[in-house]
Amino acid sequence: MARTAVYPGSFDPVTMGHMDLITRTAGLFDQMVVAVLINSEKKSPLFSLDERVIMLKDACKNIPNVSVECFEGLLVDFVRSKGDAVIIRGLRELMDFEMELQMAQVNRIASGEGAEGIETLFLPTDPKYSHISSSVVREYARYRVPLKGFVPENVLNTMMEKGIVTSTKED
Ligand code: PNS
């Protein structure tokens, strides 16, 4: 039976931590779908949905079993549309766990009882990326802090093109 992992998120923007998780998950599953939420509650994203998807697709282009899609509405409905699929979420620190546990439980309740319920698997973030989050990237970008090592090269280039960061170098 082919197994699919769905990795949902806002990805505003995709970070090195996300990429680590994507690469590791892709090695564990037949197919992996990175699912970008449309209409996030976040009022002012740094990047438009199109930009986020383009950057993700570019960053994942060399991982053959990874695709990037958008979804709207309930995550469990999207996951169900992928057949026999599980949700993947990363854990950077203990604080993440509280929220992620609640989300996993809610998603399971919303998707059915017993074997019907959609499972969430947690992957611990590689310690070298545990300080990185999209919100840290957005905040640092506001203060022009160099972001090399925080986001993939293509994201850094897009940020430069948009004038969000002024340098790709740390010096
Ligand atoms: O990267 P994020 O912002 O932490 O991702 C959050 C996301 C997209 C996984 C979550 O908000 C989500 O699944 N939204 C879709 C609506 C939904 O199904 N909500 C129920 C779970 S709380």
> Within a domain: residue 144?
yes
Task: Please indicate, yes or no, whether the overall pTM of this predicted structure exceeds 0.85.
Answer: yes
Enter the tokens of residue 124. Answer: 């611990």
170 falls within a domain: no
- Count the domains in the chain: 1
- 87: enclosing H helix or E strand: strand 85-91
Q: 167 in a domain, yes or no?
A: no
Active site annotation includes 92 = yes
Whole-angstrom Cα distance, residue 63 to residue 71? 21
Find out whether the beta carbon of 75 lies less than 6 Å from any atom of ligand 1.
Answer: yes
Flag whether 168 is in a domain.
no
Domain range enclosing 35? 4-161
Within a domain: 154: yes
CA of 112 to the centre of ligand 1 (A): 18
Q: Is the CB of 10 under 6 A from ligand 1?
A: yes
What are the tens digits of pLDDT across the range 5-19? 999 999 999 999 999
Is 166 inside a domain boundary? no
103 lines ligand 1 (CB under 6 A): yes
DSSP character for 163? T
For the segment 119-164, what is each residue's pLDDT rounded down to a tens digit? 999 999 999 999 999 999 999 998 988 899 999 999 999 999 988 8
Cβ neighbours of 26 (radius 10 Å): 19
Question: Which CATH number do you get for residue 139?
Answer: 3.40.50.620
